[in-house]
């Protein structure tokens, strides 16, 4: 019997046997290195007064932390940071709860055809880009769109969902949940199907109803996958969704809808301030790394969960 914490020694024979598997991952590894790690060399621009006409990085003037001081002093950065945290927080919370609830409700549908039909309809928006969905939402939620027409027919005033700071943030959050909750529920449905049916039979024998079975059998059986999804989502605490916001926002809603990613886009691409834009991107990456590391440690300490 193996002792707890036992680790099998990795031998040369095992490596030779698994060599074809290592070769299989080489193309994916090369793509990750090329597009995820090599570009990290550009982070040096955060510490330089980068001017493209001067050539590569070693020809640039170093300015230390001046780009960070400049960015943090901008009122637009504080606004973007606040909006990013609020939008990302609610996307994480609702993006975790709504798929779980939907998976539990879908699991209660006894008709397989109805269940598959509902699931297909609900996760279909996930496969549509925000360029397409953004255009649809702009038309549907405009002052002359179908939603406001329905409100007017009920005697209510029109609401400018994408042009009013009072409604834009809420609209962005719920439209993102609508796009992703159906696909996210697939993971939880798989976890539910993996629960031993004998546990439900034992619960019924003990007199447990459907709600009690869900609370005492289904949810505990989903605990590990819920912890995993939570740990993975916490790394996005400063990622409020550039694609979505960029396709929905306008200068009229910068106060409530401008996020770090759109702030960096305007600063780096439009205004050509490459150094400060890189500094903001680096700040975001460092904070996200800290959050996902801390969340992983907490998951291991309190839920005894390990990804590796």
User: In this predicted structure, what is the pLDDT of residue 100?
Assistant: 92
Closest among 57, 93, 251, 287 to 174, alpha carbons compared: 93
Neighbouring C-beta atoms of residue 227, cutoff 10 Å: 19
Would the pLDDT of 302 be above 90?
A: no
Whether residue 306 has pLDDT greater than 70: no
Q: 65-303: which CATH architecture? A: Orthogonal Bundle (1.10)
* Ranges 54-58, 219-223, 300-304: which has the least confidence: 300-304
> What local confidence, expressed as pLDDT, does residue 308 receive?
59
| Neighbour count for residue 37 (Cβ, 10 Å) | 9
Give me the sign of the Cα torsion angle 226, 227, 231, 232: negative
How many residues in the chain?
308
∠ CA(85), CA(226), CA(291), 5° rounding? 35
The vertex-215 CA angle with 212 and 218, nearest 5°, equals 110
Quote the tokens at residue 153. 């027919």
Res. 1 pLDDT band, cuts 50 70 90? very low
* CA–CA separation, 162 and 144 (whole Å): 13
Q: What is the pLDDT of residue 176?
A: 92
**Contact of 182 with 116, CB cutoff 8 Å:** no
Residue 256 has a CB neighbour count (10 Å cut-off) of 20
Model pLDDT for residues 88-104, shown as the tens digit of each residue: 999 989 999 999 999 88
Distances (CA, A) of 186 to 65, 162, 168, 180, 251: 45, 30, 29, 11, 37
Q: Are the beta carbons of 217 and 199 closer than 8 angstroms?
A: yes
Range 169-191 average pLDDT: 90
pLDDT at 15 over 60: yes
Domain boundaries, given as residue ranges, for the chain: 65-303
Q: Find residue 48's DSSP bridge partners.
A: 62
At 2 the pLDDT is: 47
Treating both helix axes as pointing N-terminal to C-terminal, what angle do 75-107 and 112-123 enclose, rounded to 10 degrees? 170
Determine the average pLDDT of the residues in 135-164. Answer: 88
Neighbours of 168 (CB within 10 A): 25
Report which of 105, 118, 112 is spatially closest to residue 210, judged by C-alpha positions. Answer: 105
pLDDT, tens digit, for every residue of 48-92? 888 877 777 777 788 888 889 998 888 888 899 899 999 999 998
Q: Whole-angstrom Cα distance, residue 178 to residue 248? A: 15
Decide if pLDDT at 151 tops 80: yes
């Amino acid at each position: 019997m193996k002792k707890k914490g036992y680790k099998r020694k990795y031998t040369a024979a095992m490596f030779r046997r698994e060599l074809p598997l290592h070769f299989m991952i080489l193309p994916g590894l090369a793509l990750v290195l090329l597009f995820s790690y090599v570009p990290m060399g550009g982070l040096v621009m955060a510490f330089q007064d980068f001017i493209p006409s001067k050539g590569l990085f070693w020809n640039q003037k170093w300015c230390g932390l001046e780009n960070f001081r400049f960015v943090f002093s901008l009122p637009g950065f504080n606004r973007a940071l606040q909006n990013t945290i609020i939008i990302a927080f609610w996307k994480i919370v609702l993006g975790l709860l709504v798929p779980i609830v939907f998976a539990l409700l879908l699991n209660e549908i006894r008709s397989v055809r109805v269940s598959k039909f509902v699931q297909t309809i609900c996760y279909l928006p996930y496969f549509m880009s925000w360029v397409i969905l953004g255009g649809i939402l702009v038309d549907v939620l405009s002052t002359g769109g179908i939603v406001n027409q329905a409100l007017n027919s009920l005697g209510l005033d029109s609401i400018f969902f994408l042009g009013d700071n009072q409604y834009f943030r809420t609209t962005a959050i719920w439209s993102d949940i609508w796009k992703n909750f159906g696909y996210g529920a697939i993971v939880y449905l798989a976890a539910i199907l993996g629960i031993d049916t004998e546990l439900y039979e034992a619960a019924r024998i003990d007199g447990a109803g459907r709600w009690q079975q869900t609370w005492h059998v289904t949810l505990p059986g989903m605990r590990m996958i819920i912890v995993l999804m939570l740990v993975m989502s916490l790394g996005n605490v400063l990622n409020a969704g550039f694609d979505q916001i960029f396709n929905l926002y306008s200068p009229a809603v910068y106060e409530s809808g401008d996020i770090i990613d759109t702030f960096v886009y305007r600063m780096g691409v439009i205004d050509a301030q490459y150094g400060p834009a890189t500094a903001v991107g680096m700040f975001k990456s460092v904070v996200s790394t800290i959050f996902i590391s801390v969340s992983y440690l907490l998951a291991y300490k309190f839920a005894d969960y390990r990804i590796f």
